[in-house]
Amino acid sequence: MPGRLMAYGRSRCWWSWRADRGVCLRTISLPAACLPCARLPGSDRGASLLSGAARGRRSLHDCDSSLCLRICQRRHLHSSMSDDFTLPDDAHAVIRQGLVYWRAAAPGPGLLPGRQHIDPLGMPALLPYAWLLEVHPPAGDVSIPRFRFRLVGSHVDLGFGEPMTGAWLHDMEDGFDSVSGRSRSFVDAATNALISHRRGPPRFRMNADTAELERLMMPLAADGRSVDMLLGFTVFYDGIGSVLRSRL
| Better pLDDT: 176 or 97 | 97
Work out the average pLDDT over 71-78. 26
Question: Domain 93-237 falls in which CATH fold?
Answer: Beta-Lactamase (3.30.450)
Q: What's the pLDDT score for residue 96?
A: 97
Instruction: Render pLDDT for 4-20 as a digit per residue (tens, 0 to 9).
Output: 333 323 333 334 445 55
Q: What sign has the CA pseudo-torsion 71, 11, 231, 177?
A: negative
- Specify the pLDDT at position 182: 67
Give the tens place of pLDDT for each residue, 44-67: 333 332 233 333 333 333 333 333
| pLDDT tens per residue across span 163-208 | 999 999 888 776 565 556 667 888 889 999 999 999 999 888 888 9
Number of C-beta neighbours around residue 247 at 10 A = 6
pLDDT value at residue 202: 87
For 124, phi then psi, to 5°, come to -60, -35
Number of C-beta neighbours around residue 15 at 10 A:
21
Q: What is the pLDDT of residue 240?
A: 94
In sequence order, what DSSP letters do the residues of 57-108 get, joined into one string? I-SS----TBEEEEEPP-TTTT-STTTT----TT--HHHHHHHHHHHHH-SS
| Phi, psi of 169, rounded to the nearest 5 degrees | -65, -35
Q: Mean pLDDT lowest for which of 75-84, 107-116, 186-195?
A: 75-84
Write the CB contacts of 15 (distance below 8 Å, at least 6 apart in sequence).
1, 2, 3, 4, 6, 24, 25, 26, 72
247, 215, 248, 217: which is closest to 234 by C-alpha? Answer: 215
Element (H, E) at 160: helix 154-160
Residue 36's pLDDT is what? 30
Domain locations in the chain as residue ranges: 5-71, 93-237
Give the angle 36-189-96 at the CA atoms, nearest 5°: 115
pLDDT exceeds 80 at position 113:
yes
Using an 8 Å Cβ cutoff, are 212 and 203 in contact? no
For residues 110 and 29, give the distance between their C-alpha atoms in angstroms, rounded to a whole number: 29
Note the Cα 210 to chain centre separation in Å.
Answer: 21
How crowded is residue 135: how many other Cβ atoms within 10 Å of its Cβ?
21
The whole-number pLDDT of residue 63 equals 33
What is the share, in percent, of the chain residues with pLDDT greater than 70?
62
CA distance 162 to 160: 6
Q: Please, which pLDDT band fits residue 121 given cuts at 50, 70 and 90?
A: confident
